[in-house]
């Protein structure tokens, strides 16, 4: 949860064509959303009787979203 300490409030989630922030969201949502995606993806991946790919895709989206949030806001 180092992201919660390092990131500003609000965080930028979309960059406009001019390179300036186009859309923001509160820090708590921007930090917890990737975490929730990773946890749900891991649960779906290891749960018996479900598609393993769905869990891996959610994991990947969560990681990419978290890294993107850090890169854009630092």
pLDDT tens-digit readout, 10-62: 888 888 888 888 888 898 888 888 889 999 998 988 888 878 888 899 899 99
Q: Output the six-digit token pair for 1.
A: 């949860």
pTM: 0.76
Domain count, the chain: 1
Q: Which of 37, 11, 15, 36 is nearest to 26 (CA)?
A: 11
Q: In the structure, what pLDDT confidence band is assigned to residue 1 with cuts at 50, 70 and 90?
A: low
**What is the C-alpha to C-alpha distance for residues 60 and 68, in angstroms, rounded to an integer?**
12
Q: Which helix (H) or strand (E) holds 64?
A: helix 52-73
Domain ranges, residue 58:
2-73
């Amino acid at each position: 949860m180092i992201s919660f300490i390092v990131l500003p409030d609000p965080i930028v989630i979309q960059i406009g064509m001019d390179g300036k922030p186009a859309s923001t969201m509160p820090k708590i949502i921007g930090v917890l959303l990737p975490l929730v995606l990773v946890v749900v993806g891991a649960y779906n991946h290891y749960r018996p009787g479900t598609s393993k790919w769905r869990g891996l895709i959610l994991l990947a989206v969560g990681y990419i979203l978290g890294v993107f949030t850090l890169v854009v806001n630092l």
